[in-house]
Amino acid sequence: MLTTQKTDAQKREEKRDNLIMQTASALNHLAVTMTAANQAFWAVDAEELVEDMNADFDRYESLLDFNTTLGLAVNVTLDELADNRYTKRVPLEIGNSEITLENGAFVYTPTPEPEELGE
C-alpha cells in the first residue's frame, strides 16, 4: 500500500483541526454536564422549589438567566460546528412545565389529575 507524506501545511492544518475538536469535545461535555445539573435541579418537589426560589427571587432569576446565556452560547457554537459527534444541547427552558415565571414570581400550577370515566 502506497501512502503519501503529508506536507508541512497539511500537518499544521491537522494540528489546528485537532485543537478545534478538543474545544468542541469540551463544549459537548459541558452540555452534558449542564443537562444533568438541569435535570437534577428541577427533579425536586416543585412546591418546595418554588417556595425556595421565591424566598431569594433575585438570586434564582440571575442564576437562571446566567444558565440560559451560557447554554445558548454552548448550543450556538456546537450548532455552527455542525459535527455529528457533538449532538448534546443545553436545555434553555424551565425544566418543569408546572413552574412558570409570572409577574416577578415563580408560580407552581400542578397538572390537573385526569377525571375518571364512569361506567
CA atoms within 13 A on the CB side of 58: 0
Tell me what pLDDT residue 1 has. Answer: 65
Tell me what pLDDT residue 14 has. Answer: 86
Tell me what pLDDT residue 2 has. Answer: 72
119 belongs to a structural domain: no
3 belongs to a structural domain: no
Give the tens place of pLDDT for each residue, 27-71.
999 999 999 999 999 999 999 999 999 999 999 999 999 999 999
More confident residue, 51 or 19: 51
- In the chain, what percentage of residues exceed pLDDT 70? 97
Range of the domain at 28: 9-108
76 belongs to a structural domain: yes
Tell me what pLDDT residue 119 has. Answer: 57
| Alpha-carbon separation of residue 33 from 41, 51, 89 (angstroms) | 12, 26, 10
Number of domains in the chain: 1
2 belongs to a structural domain: no
Mean pLDDT of 103-119: 84
44 belongs to a structural domain: yes
4 belongs to a structural domain: no
71 belongs to a structural domain: yes
Check if the beta carbon of residue 67 is closer than 8 Å to that of residue 38. yes
